[in-house]
Amino acid sequence: MKSSLVDLKVKYIHVFLRIGLMLFCIGLAPSLKAQNEGLVKRVWNSVFNDTTSIEQPKFIAYPTIAFAPETKWEFGVSAVYVYYANQDINNRLSEVTAFSFITLEKQYGLWMDHALYSDKSLWFLLGRIRLQQFPLLYFGEGIDTNGEELAQIDAGSISIRERVLRKVHGSLYLGFETDFHRLSNVGFNRLVDDPFDAPEGIRKFSNLGLGLGLVYDDRHNVLNVREGFFGEMGFLRYDDGWGSDFEFTSYFFDARYYLPTTESQVLATQVYFSEVQGGAPFSQLSLMGGESLMRGYYLGRYRDNTLLAAQAEYRFLPFPFSKRWGAAAFVGFGTVSDGVRSLDLSKFKVAGGTGVRFLIFRSKDIFTRLDVAVSEDGLGYYFFIGEAF
């Protein structure tokens, strides 16, 4: 578990250095204000008080820094941009988030996520980009892996997932889905002496998936949903006919429901299912864990053809006695198997935790979150703008 512990330490250091940097800026502001009151006031209001009118676009970026033995110093920048189409607040709030980093060990990455709505929400673009050169831990496949890292796979990866959806009626959308996944500069490093079968996909490959998706979405603010429902079902086919090195099909279902219990409290729930049929590489199997679903587990800690998971989160946005501070408590259940028929409900893994929230964009109703999650593998720390789901 040495690598897992290092990974948890990295998250811990990353989170608290970010918080320390923010507190440092807050503490420094009064002295700077005395030197240049006009400039500091504008910057302060722009970042912390969000004094721009509600219909105006909003952008914020801040530096991050972290340290770990395998990466040495890591330097990064996090950013978010939000806007209403045509600056009309009756439209849904569009958002773009980004995080980039580089380390002294020549590891680097760029993450971008977006949910973009056109005027009157006629078109909906939903997607993400992951570009990085970073090690991946492999624990084996199935729900019965013992938690020991079998291998570390060093690789450069490109992952681009995009949905282009057109409204067909009300909040129902139908559209084209695509997914591109590429691994290059792959190095497979065994971490145990006992023999095991190397997974598919430990050499350079590229896969392109094409498919269709049906989405119901009546959320107004993707980063902080107060009320509504989001549901998606669809498939992606990866085939050598359009250049894929592996041939397989991925099916997925995602349902999220948000119930306001008071003016400032929300119960959020999610059920997620995915199934891979065919010979998929290890990095495109159904993966459990990460910063959104089953927080507390390393992404890919459990992987197999089929994943079934659910989570619930209760949010105080904000507390009744505060204008900007809130909190959340969450719990998740999930399992993987080699197929739907072999899903064993008695082998569900559990993770849960709590976190604090800070209202960073008042007029846009957007919070930053710091979550601490607990699982059988230990602790996980997550610091992001916007809710997990």
Per DSSP, 85 falls in state: G
C-alpha torsion sign, points 25, 27, 28, 30: positive
pLDDT tens per residue, the chain (389 residues)? 444 443 433 443 444 444 444 434 444 444 445 455 565 566 556 555 666 678 889 998 878 776 555 456 778 888 999 999 999 999 999 999 998 989 887 789 999 999 999 999 999 999 999 999 988 889 999 999 988 899 999 999 999 999 999 999 999 999 999 999 999 988 999 999 999 989 999 999 999 999 999 999 999 999 999 999 999 999 999 999 999 999 999 999 999 999 999 999 999 999 999 999 999 999 999 999 988 999 999 899 999 999 999 999 999 999 999 999 999 999 999 999 999 999 998 999 999 999 999 998 888 899 989 899 999 988 888 888 889 99
Q: Following DSSP, what letter does each residue of 16-68 receive, concatenated?
A: HHHHHHHHHHHHHHHHHHHH-HHHHHHHHIIIII--S-TTS-EEEEEEEEEEE
Strands, E assignment, 139-171: 151-169
Domain 2-385 sits in CATH at 2.40.160.50
Crossing angle of helices 37-44 and 2-35, rounded to 10°: 140
180 is written with which tokens?
Answer: 């591109």
| Nearest of 113, 122, 112, 128 to residue 92 by alpha carbon | 122
Q: What angle do CA 133, 112, 379 make, to 5 degrees?
A: 70
DSSP per-residue codes, 340-351? GGG--GGG-EEE
Radius of gyration of the chain measured on its C-alpha atoms: 21
Per-position b or e across 105-124, b if 16+ CB within 10 A of its CB: bebbbebbbbbbbbeebebb
